[in-house]
Structure 1
């Protein structure tokens, strides 16, 4: 998309909503504090923030606080959450496939503004957007303070092979395909080692923060296979090696076993979805230190929608039913095996703003609530390769969320976020009803 088009969409004053509380030095009086390093829930603490950073963290709550304080004594404070797999430019619906032919890029840009704010207000102060033209521009608009949303680590266009999961011409008829010609590395479609290098360099030119490849078929692409391998090991290695030259990490969408093996052996940072992970893939991921981002939410969503006539095209429907239903079981197996896990939902498949439901699904599958919360805080920061977020400690970004009660005892409270701060700016504050629940 041309930057001028996206600028027109993102600068439109009609998207302006209630102004957030701007960054000033203040104290947060927290009834409980989640220590992301240890996974422990601590007692009352005071968190001092200013200039976008956490200035001090101390046990207890003083009787008075200079400059006023935010009363979170009925809440648990924790680091702002990170969703490592979202797509902010769209959201699944029965019209999704036809809209690709009818809507302009600006339409998707307008939609992304609302989806970004929903995500932020749900407690997600950072996201990794894994595929889409809008995300790098939306990231810039958020960083400039023009719209409200999470900090975005943007992949830009995913890298696929011809006919692969992210080939943008899948489903086109022969006449349209002939008119447009075959997509190449600029469009994110590769068929050789040289193409792979060019595609990564194109993402660098376009300002991406991370590289995404589609190592196997996928559920929602207009193609029969949801799990066939779609790159050679050498092609993936060319992507990884070139990405490393530019300081990029590589996320690999992968459902099928062989595609996962090739991606892990080639050195990707994370496997996304991982549906048909077998014992050999588990062994390789542990050996290579590869992260797993499960996206249970997307699996459950597509499995449910596959039951509805007409929601998906018929070529997609059996994949959605088969693969979607498997992901939560795969997650349970991966956790028990000791694979490193980061939090991700694939929202854009499911509804934006419902990201925290993934915590509930993780706990249902056997992960302790504390470990699930770590996957979206300190572990997510490790996946991103950043060290200034994911924990509530002096010097780190002032990204803080609060929920009522005790999330380790009742993980369901993550769906009731009462307070959101990103870089020291407050976007959501408790209501009087929230405060009434103080212990």
Structure 2
């Protein structure tokens, strides 16, 4: 018993020491994403995982680990609002792909949190590019619902999922229409029937396991969406489909809705702004990949911002399971096509946190916020800039990935084999 108590005491002391670690990031151009704006020559102090102090004249606590930004940029961590990180290792190898479940009898009730692998090899390569938080999305299966999404840190730790059951994802686009029976009319009718099943739960299922569209388990999982407790994320691109989504939201208060995709959202920007519906979109999407996205344009992001729509950027065109690391580049392209720097940077940091309701902890540098801090050697929206340090929850992370290890292993190898054997 004494040995057990001694071991517990040591464990508690070690945990307390880890939590008590203090960092001070000094001499930086600090982007706060708050009314404080950008602080030149600023310092950020992080203790116990949270930001303790920030400003131009902050005293560095004794014993703090000092990170000298050397005049570089210091920012909140990037928040990727639409990814499948940790759900897919190799997309074409089904045994490593847990994003969707096309053969399952369930849909709404599926939760990506049960499939997430914090040891996925794409997570470190994303983290070292300044991404500290992400939203995980399911793929759809046998009907237009994909299931529940989750929010995760890029720490790679076993407890990196910090919110589960964060939203429900549904596909009402061209592909969703095909799944529902061949037309958008079928897709919207299915969604209406599914909402009816959830609104009538439990009475509708008192004598039967199946409702009009969903079984008992899926209908129960949709209840929080119908009651406005969880947002419904709808994948649509076509302007006409977005208008239909707005009408659906208006006909089903208190439903909260998020538009994902939104290739033609700029065409209905005023309507989206009036409805208060946010949009997750890729600002470099400019090619008509389908008849749903004929209106794609590099000016889309600028037009949405100008109309007052809440916009967060994705890397949809670059793939969501390993290229979320390119998010800063996509935001930089938005700046090149008319978006202000402040709006573009907020669209990959603070705005995603606002959309998912976690903006009191993430997306900004202020006292009391989580210690997600990135130090850059230049403007983070410039393609040649890169992070030098990444802190997540107040802990400095390893700036190494499988790619960097391969680079270091093979970069300076001298081939001494006979010429005929060289390749």
Pairwise TM-score range, normalised by the shorter structure: 0.5 to 0.7
Deviation at 1:54, TM superposition (A): 0.8
Contact 1:39 1:374 in 2 (8 A): no
Specify the alignment match of 1:126 in structure 2: 133
- The separation in 2 between residues aligned to 1:271 and 1:258, in whole angstroms, is 13
Deviation at 1:261, TM superposition (A): 0.9
Contact 1:143 1:151 in 2 (8 A): no
* 3-state secondary structure, aligned to 1:394: coil
Say whether 1:282 aligns with 2:266.
no
Specify the alignment match of 1:180 in structure 2: none
Identify which of structures 1 and 2 has the higher relative contact order when contacts are C-alpha pairs closer than 8 Å and 6+ apart: 1
Contact 2:45 2:60 in 1 (8 A): no
* 3-state secondary structure, aligned to 1:44: strand
- The separation in 2 between residues aligned to 1:61 and 1:271, in whole angstroms, is 41
- The separation in 1 between residues aligned to 2:336 and 2:199, in whole angstroms, is 38
Deviation at 1:319, TM superposition (A): 3.0
Correspondences of 1:211-360 after superposition (within 5 Å): 242-243=224-225, 245=227, 247-267=229-249, 268-277=256-265, 279=267, 281-297=268-284, 299=285, 303=287, 319=289, 323=293, 326-346=296-316, 347-348=319-320, 351-360=323-332
Specify the alignment match of 1:159 in structure 2: 170
Deviation at 1:168, TM superposition (A): 7.6
Specify the alignment match of 1:402 in structure 2: 375
Contact 1:131 1:155 in 2 (8 A): no
Q: Structure 2: which 5+ runs fail to align?
A: 1-16, 101-114, 141-145, 202-212, 214-219, 250-255, 401-423
- The separation in 2 between residues aligned to 1:37 and 1:59, in whole angstroms, is 15
1:136–1:164 CA distance, 2 compared to 1 (3 A): closer
Length-normalised TM-score, structure 2: 0.64
Say whether 1:67 aligns with 2:74.
no
Residues 156-186 of structure 1, C-alpha deviation per residue, up to 9 Å, x if partnerless? Answer: 8743479843988999xxxxxxxxxxxxxxx
Say whether 1:145 aligns with 2:115.
no
1:201–1:57 CA distance, 2 compared to 1 (3 A): farther
Deviation at 1:152, TM superposition (A): 6.7
Specify the alignment match of 2:345 in structure 1: 373
Deviation at 1:66, TM superposition (A): 2.7
Deviation at 1:260, TM superposition (A): 0.5
Specify the alignment match of 2:190 in structure 1: 191
Deviation at 1:398, TM superposition (A): 0.7
1:170–1:328 CA distance, 2 compared to 1 (3 A): farther
* 3-state secondary structure, aligned to 1:159: strand
Q: Structure 1: which 5+ runs fail to align?
A: 1-20, 172-187, 203-230, 232-237, 304-317, 431-439
Length-normalised TM-score, structure 1: 0.62
* 3-state secondary structure, aligned to 1:296: coil
Structural RMSD (CA) = 4.6
Specify the alignment match of 2:355 in structure 1: 383
Residues 200-234 of structure 1, C-alpha deviation per residue, up to 9 Å, x if partnerless? Answer: 999xxxxxxxxxxxxxxxxxxxxxxxxxxxx9xxx
* 3-state secondary structure, aligned to 1:390: coil
Say whether 1:48 aligns with 2:45.
yes
- The separation in 1 between residues aligned to 2:120 and 2:126, in whole angstroms, is 10
Deviation at 1:59, TM superposition (A): 1.6
* 3-state secondary structure, aligned to 2:44: strand
Say whether 1:80 aligns with 2:77.
yes
- The separation in 1 between residues aligned to 2:342 and 2:328, in whole angstroms, is 14
1:158–1:117 CA distance, 2 compared to 1 (3 A): same
Correspondences of 1:418-437 after superposition (within 5 Å): 418-428=388-398
- The separation in 1 between residues aligned to 2:75 and 2:83, in whole angstroms, is 21
> Which sits farther off after the overlay, 117-126 or 266-275?
266-275
Deviation at 1:364, TM superposition (A): 1.6
Residues 81-140 of structure 1, C-alpha deviation per residue, up to 9 Å, x if partnerless? Answer: 1111112256799x74xx45x766599967971122222222111111222499989978
User: How many residues matched?
Assistant: 334
